[in-house]
Amino acid sequence: FDKWATGGVAQATTAAAFSGRFNPGFSNKVDAAMLNAFAKVYGFEFFGTYEAANGRSKNESAVRHVSQYAAEGIYRFGSSENLFLGLRYNAVKADLTTTNKVDINRFCVAGGWFVSKNVLMKMEIVNQQYKNFLNTDYRYNGKFNGFVMEAIVGF
C-alpha cells in the first residue's frame, strides 16, 4: 500500500485497502480548492464539481498538480420523484512521482429507484479508462466497461 499511496507501483492483488481509489500521494505542502454547483428545475437536477490540488510527498522537492471535474445530470420522475435516470462524466488528470501525467475518465448511464427515503436501488452502465500509466503500473491500460447494480441503505 505504501508504494501505491505515494504514486509508485503496487499489485492489484495485494491487500491494499484503497487500491480502487486514485491517490496522488500528497503528504506535504498541499494546497487545494474545490467548487461545487447544484441546480434543480422541476425534475431535472445538475451537479458539477471541480477540484484542484498542488502538493508533494515528504521525499519530493518538486510540487505536482492534480485536478478532477465531474458533471452529472439527473431527471427524477414518479409521483414522489422516487425514480430517476441520469448521466455522469468524471475526469482526473494528475502528475505522478514517476513524472508521467495520467488521466482517468469515467462515463455512466444510470437509473434508480428510491424504495424508501433511506433505501436506493441503482443500476449503471459504466465505461472507465486509465490512460498514460507506466507499463509497470497495475493500472496500465486499465479499463472497466460493464454493468453495476447497487443497493444502498443510508441513515
State pLDDT tens for residues 91-145. 999 998 876 899 999 999 999 999 998 999 999 999 999 999 888 888 888 899 9
Q: Are 16 and 35 in contact (CB under 8 A)?
A: no
Confidence (pLDDT) at 57: 87
To the nearest whole number, what is the mean pLDDT of the chain?
A: 87
Confidence (pLDDT) at 6: 43
- Residue 58: pLDDT band by 50, 70, 90 thresholds? confident
Distance, in Å, from the CA atom of 155 to the CA atom of 152, rounded to the nearest integer, reads: 10
CB atoms within 10 A of CB 91: 14
Residue 22: which of 94, 117, 114, 80 has the closest Cα? Answer: 94
19 CB-near residues (< 8 Å, 6+ apart): 1, 4, 10, 12, 138
- Residue 48: pLDDT band by 50, 70, 90 thresholds? very high
Q: Which SS3 state, helix, strand or coil, does residue 149 take?
A: strand
Distance, in Å, from the CA atom of 96 to the CA atom of 99, rounded to the nearest integer, reads: 5
Distances (CA, A) of 40 to 66, 76, 80, 133: 29, 10, 15, 38
Q: Are strands 119-131 and 101-114 parallel, antiparallel or unpaired?
A: antiparallel
Q: Give Cα 24 distance to the centre of its chain.
A: 13
Q: Which SS3 state, helix, strand or coil, does residue 108 take?
A: strand
Confidence (pLDDT) at 130: 92
pLDDT > 80? residue 19: no
Q: What is the pLDDT of residues 71-80, one digit of tens each?
A: 999 999 998 9
**Measured distance between the N- and C-terminal CA atoms of the chain, rounded to whole angstroms:** 31
Distance, in Å, from the CA atom of 77 to the CA atom of 80, rounded to the nearest integer, reads: 7
Confidence (pLDDT) at 1: 34
Confidence (pLDDT) at 99: 65
